[in-house]
Amino acid sequence: MLPQILRRIHPAAGFLGFLTILTFWTSTVAVEALGSHQAILAVKTGILWGMIVLIPSLAVAGATGFKLAGPISKGPVAAKKRRMPFIAANGILILIPCAVALQRLAAAGDFGAIFYAVQAVELIAGATNIALMGLNIRDGFRMTRGRLAARVAA
Ligand code: HEM
């Protein structure tokens, strides 16, 4: 019973986290390429509010993932277990501080070299997390397919 609920919650939380960070990334690139300073501030403020969605969804995806995986540590599960601490550390140590700094600079109207340097770091860290989470989605589907195929064969 419990694994069935976790099997539903886990990919939902994972996808939500993935789509949230993808939205942060694409809206940042779009508004900085095309938008006014006021529009950039709006996006930067929206991203801070969006953390209310991103942080819990990643925590839930990670916790349910480790629970579903249990003690197994080989193949795609091992890869997913290895990636998750990077995803979390990247988020906590780089993405959140960058998002706070960028919102503050934008609110102060300071769009100088520091803003764009921090922005570059945030975009690279964000793209890294999008890629790592994409790999976790790919491996997740592989594992579910493998489990279902084994059940049909049995
Ligand atoms: C952001 C991180 C993660 C994302 C986006 C993610 C995404 C997914 C997705 C999309 C599936 C397929 C579910 C389905 O076919 O219905 C899945 C399955 C799975 N994931 Fe993750 N995952 C993440 C982290 C983790 C972590 C850290 C672990 C722990 C090792 C993990 C363990 C599993 C397991 C064991 C399954 C197979 C569930 C089953 O038995 O069907 N995941 N994941």
> In tens digits, what is the pLDDT along the chain, a chain of 154 residues?
678 999 999 999 999 999 999 999 999 999 999 999 999 999 999 999 999 999 999 999 999 999 999 998 888 999 999 999 999 999 999 999 999 999 999 999 999 999 999 999 999 999 999 999 999 999 999 999 988 898 898 8
Is the shortest distance between the CB of 21 and ligand 1 below 6 Å?
no
pLDDT at 3: 84
Alpha carbons 20 and 31: distance in angstroms, whole number: 16
In the chain, where are the structural domains located? 2-153
Q: Tell whether ligand 1 has an atom less than 6 A from the beta carbon of residue 62.
A: yes
Residue 69 CA, ligand 1 centroid: distance in Å: 8
- Amino acid code (one letter) for 93: L
| DSSP secondary structure letter of residue 71 | T
Separation of 89 CA from ligand 1 center, angstroms?
19
pLDDT at position 147, please? Answer: 84
What is the DSSP code (8-state) at residue 13? Answer: H
Residue whose CA is at the smallest distance from ligand 1 atom 35: 69
Token representation of residue 109: 């109207």
2-153 maps to CATH 1.20.120: yes
Q: Which atom of ligand 1 is nearest to the CA of 66?
A: 29
Token readout for 4 is 């069935």
Phi/psi for 119 (5° steps) reads -60, -40
